[in-house]
């Protein structure tokens, strides 16, 4: 299966430019770490990204959290992306009808499609959500992840829902590059999907608000996922401690990468 292949070998399995670029970036930086930067002030947002940038293949954003958002922030984010060689993933979790999501993706204050190389969507509306987002994103070379599973206790994305989400992805391979999920789809055979996994922490198991954590080793080696997504585990509570934040990012990068190397050997 694809689990035994290197990230760089797998780049050839994709026509989608965002998927190819992510796999090549991972190999170049020896990083399968995506840092999720969930803070409310632009100053903290940029300082954390500058600190973790050297260790991350992908920065995951929730730009609707920022209370002082304006579009110059995107220019600063793109400058950091060039400086540190990481890609950008706005974790928008679209979940509406095709026409509405196409507008949400292209327009509004955030104009996500114009800068976010990867974004994601819930599969709950059915295939029309992929058609809507693809009408905007495919001509721009963007990639979409479908939420096949979630990390939270009691979530409903299980069983048949997860299976039908996999099928929606198979039907739109040009634009859907993979999943947000907790494991690689079983019996995937030769078909290649990227699996990006949130709910990763080395020191704690839960956050008291339903989040459930596993380790990079469990995620990459045991469950066959490709990218670990880490938020608070990297940046903690004091955003001014940029040196400590950088050290944590390196700790997670090393942990995720050694699990990947072990997987390639087995």
Residues labelled as active-site residues: 91, 93, 96
| Among candidate residues 198, 129, 116, the one with its CA nearest the CA of residue 169 | 129
Is 34 a binding residue for ligand BMP by CB under 6 A? The answer is: no
Residue placing its CB nearer to ligand BMP in the complex, 59 or 221: 59
- Of 102, 150, 194, 246, the one binding ligand BMP (CB under 6 A) is 150
Q: Is 28 annotated as a binding residue?
A: no
| Among candidate residues 253, 241, 206, 246, the one with its CA nearest the CA of residue 58 | 253
Distance in Å, CB of 107 to ligand BMP, minimum: 22
Distance in Å, CB of 117 to ligand BMP, minimum: 16
Residue placing its CB nearer to ligand BMP in the complex, 1 or 236: 236
User: Strand, coil or helix: what is 87?
Assistant: strand
Is 36 a binding residue for ligand BMP by CB under 6 A? The answer is: yes
- Of 178, 185, 216, 233, the one binding ligand BMP (CB under 6 A) is 233
Residue placing its CB nearer to ligand BMP in the complex, 13 or 165: 165
Distance (Å, whole) CA 10 – CA 13: 5
Residue 161's contacts (CB-CB under 8 Å, 6 or more residues apart) are 123
Q: Is 151 annotated as a binding residue?
A: yes
Q: The tokens of 211 are what?
A: 């989040």
Which residue is nearest to ligand BMP, using beta carbons?
Answer: 231
Q: Where are the beta strands (DSSP E) in 83-193?
A: 87-94, 118-122, 143-147, 176-180
State the angle between helix axes of 42-52 and 242-265 in degrees (0 to 180), rounded to the nearest 10. 50
Residues that bind ligand BMP (CB under 6 A): 36, 38, 62, 91, 150-151, 180, 198-199, 207, 211, 229-233
């Amino acid at each position: 299966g694809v689990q035994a292949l290197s990230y760089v070998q797998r780049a050839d399995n994709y026509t989608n430019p965002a998927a190819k670029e992510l796999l090549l970036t991972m190999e170049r930086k020896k990083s399968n770490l995506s840092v999720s930067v969930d803070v409310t002030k632009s100053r903290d947002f940029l300082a954390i990204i500058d600190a973790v940038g050297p260790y991350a293949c992908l920065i995951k954003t929730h730009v609707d959290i920022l209370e002082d958002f304006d579009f110059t922030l995107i220019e600063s984010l793109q400058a950091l992306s060039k400086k540190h060689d990481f890609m950008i993933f706005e974790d928008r979790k679209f979940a509406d009808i095709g026409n509405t999501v196409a507008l949400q993706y292209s327009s509004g204050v955030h104009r996500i499609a114009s800068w976010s190389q990867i974004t994601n969507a819930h599969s709950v509306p059915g295939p029309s959500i992929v058609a809507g987002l693809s009408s905007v994103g495919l001509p721009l070379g963007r990639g979409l992840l479908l939420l096949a599973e979630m990390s939270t206790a009691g979530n409903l994305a299980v069983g048949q829902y997860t299976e039908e989400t996999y099928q929606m992805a198979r039907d739109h391979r040009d634009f859907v590059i993979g999943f947000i999920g907790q494991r690689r789809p079983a019996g995937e055979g030769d078909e290649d999907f990227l699996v990006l996994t949130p709910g990763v922490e080395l020191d704690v198991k839960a956050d008291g608000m339903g989040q459930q954590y596993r380790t990079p080793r469990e995620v990459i080696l045991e469950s066959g996922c490709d990218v670990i997504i880490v938020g608070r585990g990297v940046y903690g509570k004091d955003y001014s401690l940029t040196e400590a934040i950088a050290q944590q990012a390196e700790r997670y990068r090393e942990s995720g990468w050694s699990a990947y190397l072990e997987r390639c050997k087995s």
